Structure 1
Amino acid sequence: MGSSALSAAIGPIEVEFPGYSAQVYSLGQYKVALVTHAGDLQLTGIYILGFVLGPFLWAPGSEVFGRRPIYIWTLIPLTAFDAAVCGAKSMPALLICRFLAGTFGCSSMTNAAGIISDMFLAEQRGLAMGVFGAMPWLGPVVGPLVGGFLGEADGWRWVAAVVALFSALLAALHIIFLPETYAPVLLRKRATRLSANTGKVYRCHHDVAKPFSHRELITTQLKVPFKLLFTEPIVFTLCLYMACIFGILYMQFTSFPLVFKGARGWTSGESALAFIPMSIGCNLALLYMVFWGNPKYAKGLQELGYQPPEARLPSGFTGSVMLPVGLFIFAWTCVPVHIHWIVCMIGLLCFGSGMVLIFLATQNYLVDAYLPTAASVMAAGTVTRSIIGVVLPLFTLNMYDALGINWASCVVAFIALVFTPVPVLLFVYGRRIRRLTKHGRMSDDHYLALAEARTVLVREKTREGDAEMASRIPPINDIDEENDDPVLEDNLSERFANGVL
């Protein structure tokens, strides 16, 4: 929401900070006739640009210092810079504060998947990822809706104030309620405490295998997102797919004023209402995952004891079709204006549903397929999405000027159509592709070992007739204090979920 809320209140910002060229407001892209919308891309793009830098700091940092410290260290500055936006006295100050807010605010985008992999078993992870996965899409959709009406009524500073207050609330909730979930950090703390209390030397099994060094670990982990992005074909393809969808979403932010304000004559607040069908579509997709997709996966996991990562992809089949279909409907019904507006809204609803279904399928798939490095995979995805989300909208207005609203919107739909076969191809060939690369083989071996351990335990518990216990993996040898050389070990699921490269 922080990235897009000010985009609907750009008019008052331009009134307060006049004298800048259209290039300053729009990264060199808007025509003077469209100057009332000129700062949209700049204010949104500069925030998203912070998402390019942040993930390479916060994702590896969470695997060195733990999840909780990174959230606290980033959410407090996020609140401060969001509040500074309210008091900005010039356009450069406003843009700098927005960039820094985006840099610190992206920690939740990169580290949430790591927390989910820490806390939830495979049958529960899909639901948790579903709840999380809908938020990155709902936020940019709800932001212009809030900013449009509030900006018209009370000015853009109140829009910025709402974002700052929301950030402060989130920071307070994380400080009070968020526990540490990363197993190596928890075990190191426990080893330190036991060593102090007993006089024995306790060590985490991660540190027994390799002595712990902050400097070496940070240096190593900073490279991981780059390695995964450029050496893993699956990571690269899915990151590019999600990046194009993210870019399409922000292209829609640019095209909506042209369609609804320019062609249909709606006000800024009324134009923001066009985001409601997209939010409804996002929520319908989430409901589908909660009541159908994830229960189906959990049932198969309980019956078989093992589900490959590719079992996460079927919902993406539907989403990859709904996405271009919705965009094509919007392309040819948004204008001419004699076509009722409800028709193009139906297209936006399909677009919203398809977008979330694909996101949830690919995110769950990547977490399962690259379980030991889930946070780094998410960081690579966030950076790719952010770059494309900034770059693609820069060409939107030129494209709409050259091709017209209908054909320009069709180009956007064709971009989505190109990626339609990707979920099916990965469903068929995904494991074969993973086995071709070093990180893919290592992650696949970890996942298979974990699945084998779970299958054995499920069979044992099933033979005992304990159906409830068969659905869970009990902790395995958490600590043995009687050992002459005591070593702290996490349970098997944590060991494979949180291994450090």
Structure 2
Amino acid sequence: MAEEKQLTTTINGTESRPMIFPLEKDKSKANDNIDDINVIDFEGEDDPLDPMNWKPWLRWSHIMLMSLMAFVLSLGDLAFAPAVPMLLSDLHVSTESPLSTLVISIYSLGTIAGNLLGPPIVRCGLCSQPTIQVLIAMRFLAGGFGAVSYTLGGPIIGDLFPAEKRGVTMAVFSGGQMIGPVVGPIFGGYLAQEQGWRWVFWLMVILSGAVYIPSVLLMRESYRPTVLQNKVRKLRKSTGNQQLKSKYEVDAKRIGLFIGAMLCGATSDCRMEKASKGGEQKPEYQLPPLLLGTITVPLGLLLYGWVAQYHLHWALPLIGTGFIGFGFMTTLLPSTNYLVDSFPLHSASAIAVTELLLAASGALFPLAAPPLYNHIGYGWGNSALAFSTIAFAPLPWLLLKFGERIRKRENATTL
């Protein structure tokens, strides 16, 4: 048997896979398998370095903190709305000016890009801005710096939980994002009435800081390629073997496979590690609730618009908005789960695109709404929105039928 020397390395208290280094006389035989020897992966299903094997309290603390971040960000979107008349009066801005709407909607536009550290600092500036123009700019920055809480929530859930356990965690995370716009105007209106509009922003400063501090202390990197790359870096240092690499690391051979796949149109099966009820669990299984959302959203828009047009009982518009909210949730959650399952290593990028569209819509539609309703009324205005949602209704059906085929084609580009 060939003579070998073996080295075992401990990383973060965890013993790594023994690395085998063939002696000189075995080099010719070892060359065939050198790539496999130097590729570092997690040590089986129970490797504590794998984010899915972290302790439950640590994984759930990440989910709760991301939910709180999303809550604070969404709270800041509309908490300021009741204080707008007071602000316009203080800053001598006409209520007919487009700036009166932009000061609210610009926050959503800012969430297209962002970082976490900025919101507390920017919101301090919001508390004392003397002009409406500077206030709008600071609102844009506040929304932008906090956008990471929307973008990274789904990918972090995908890193920490297997597919069959993501439903509850995704609901917990999305709950923070959904509750903020509901309670924001209530707290904002009361605080602005009692303490002035600047205290709405001081409240956001306090809440942002309260969430940011435990986030810095508790949250850690959960992206699997990065976790493995950190392991590789430590092994290179301890063993001296600079040929070690993560299984996710791209090299020239993989780039060649990528180009070949693009040119030849090769396909590969999308593999799921978890099974559901004895069968393969596919991302398309997340889509059926979207079919319900394609019905309830336009129904709610039509109900809200026409009962508001004819000034019917006050409860009817609430029912309409209830349908809209229900449809929004049955659309948002399955869509996020579908993206996380379809792009496990690139879910942050996929979700960032959807958040960009959501933020852009939230920023621009409020500017178009007053002219729309003034010209054609609530009934036909909401009908136009309902018809636009109906136009997209076939998309979930198309994904159910062709989604797997599309994923197989696109998966070839990741080889």
Please, what TM-score do these two structures have when normalized by structure 1? Answer: 0.59
- Does structure 1 conserve the Cα–Cα contact (< 8 Å) formed by 2:298 and 2:387? yes
Which residue in 1 is equivalent to 2:293?
319
Aligned residue pair count: 321
**Consecutive unaligned residues in structure 2, runs of 5 or more:** 1-74, 253-273
Please, what TM-score do these two structures have when normalized by structure 2? Answer: 0.71
Which residue in 2 is equivalent to 1:403?
376
Correspondence 1:384 to 2:351: no
Match of 1:159 among 200, 206, 212: 200
Alpha-carbon deviations, 1:115-156, whole Å to 9, x = none?
Answer: 112111111123222222343333233322322232223221
Q: Distance in 2 between matches of 1:353 and 1:319?
A: 7
- Between the two proteins, what is the percent identity of the paired residues? 30
Match of 1:5 among 55, 59, 79: 79
- Does structure 1 conserve the Cα–Cα contact (< 8 Å) formed by 2:88 and 2:95? no
Letter in 1 for 2:179: L
Alpha-carbon deviations, 1:362-391, whole Å to 9, x = none?
Answer: 111122122221111011111122222222
Which residue in 1 is equivalent to 2:342?
369
Q: Distance in 1 between matches of 2:118 and 2:78?
A: 19
Q: Distance in 1 between matches of 2:215 and 2:244?
A: 29
Letter in 2 for 1:317: L
Q: Cα distance, 1:208 vs. partner?
A: 5.7
Q: Distance in 2 between matches of 1:369 and 1:386?
A: 23
Alpha-carbon deviations, 1:170-197, whole Å to 9, x = none?
Answer: 1112112212211232223333334445
Local SS of the residue matching 1:329:
helix
Match of 1:51 among 101, 111, 118: 111
Match of 1:140 among 181, 195, 200: 181
Q: Distance in 1 between matches of 2:235 and 2:309?
A: 70
Q: Distance in 2 between matches of 1:143 and 1:413?
A: 26
Local SS of the residue matching 2:92:
coil
Which residue in 1 is equivalent to 2:308?
334
Change (3 A) 1:414 1:194: same
Change (3 A) 1:134 1:440: farther
Q: Distance in 2 between matches of 1:346 and 1:19?
A: 35
Letter in 1 for 2:288: P
Alpha-carbon deviations, 1:198-240, whole Å to 9, x = none?
Answer: 55558441576439xxxxxxxxxxxxxxxxxxxxxxxxxxxxx
Q: Aligned runs of 1:163-174 on 2, under 5 Å?
A: 163-174=204-215
Letter in 1 for 2:110: G
The structure with more strand, counted as a fraction of residues? 2
Which residue in 2 is equivalent to 1:178?
219
Match of 1:88 among 118, 122, 129: 129
Q: Aligned runs of 1:62-461 on 2, under 5 Å?
A: 74-197=115-238, 201=242, 203-206=244-247, 209-210=250-251, 301-337=275-311, 339-436=312-409, 439-442=410-413
Q: Distance in 2 between matches of 1:53 and 1:336?
A: 41
Alpha-carbon deviations, 1:22-56, whole Å to 9, x = none?
Answer: 44xx25xxxxxxxxxxx2x31222212222343xx
Letter in 1 for 2:216: I
- Does structure 1 conserve the Cα–Cα contact (< 8 Å) formed by 2:299 and 2:320? yes
Q: Relative to structure 2, which stretch is displaced further, 141-150 or 9-18?
A: 141-150
Which residue in 2 is equivalent to 1:215?
none
Correspondence 1:18 to 2:92: yes
Local SS of the residue matching 1:371:
coil
Local SS of the residue matching 2:350:
helix
Match of 2:102 among 26, 30, 42: 42
Alpha-carbon deviations, 1:409-447, whole Å to 9, x = none?
Answer: 2222222222223222211222233345xx35446xx8x
Local SS of the residue matching 2:403:
helix
Q: Cα distance, 1:97 vs. partner?
A: 1.4
- Does structure 2 conserve the Cα–Cα contact (< 8 Å) formed by 1:310 and 1:427? yes
- Does structure 2 conserve the Cα–Cα contact (< 8 Å) formed by 1:50 and 1:103? yes
Local SS of the residue matching 1:18:
coil
- Does structure 1 conserve the Cα–Cα contact (< 8 Å) formed by 2:113 and 2:147? no
Change (3 A) 1:420 1:208: closer
Local SS of the residue matching 1:75:
coil
Q: Distance in 1 between matches of 2:176 and 2:249?
A: 39
Letter in 1 for 2:308: C
Q: Distance in 2 between matches of 1:98 and 1:180?
A: 29
- Does structure 2 conserve the Cα–Cα contact (< 8 Å) formed by 1:370 and 1:440? no
- Does structure 1 conserve the Cα–Cα contact (< 8 Å) formed by 2:123 and 2:204? yes
**Consecutive unaligned residues in structure 1, runs of 5 or more:** 28-38, 55-73, 212-299, 447-501
Q: Distance in 2 between matches of 1:208 and 1:392?
A: 42
- Does structure 1 conserve the Cα–Cα contact (< 8 Å) formed by 2:113 and 2:145? no
- Does structure 2 conserve the Cα–Cα contact (< 8 Å) formed by 1:325 and 1:350? yes
Letter in 1 for 2:393: T
The structure with more helix, counted as a fraction of residues? 1
Which residue in 1 is equivalent to 2:36?
none
Q: Cα distance, 1:355 vs. partner?
A: 0.4
Q: Relative to structure 2, which stretch is displaced further, 189-198 or 393-402?
A: 189-198
Is the radius of gyration larger for structure 1 or structure 2?
2
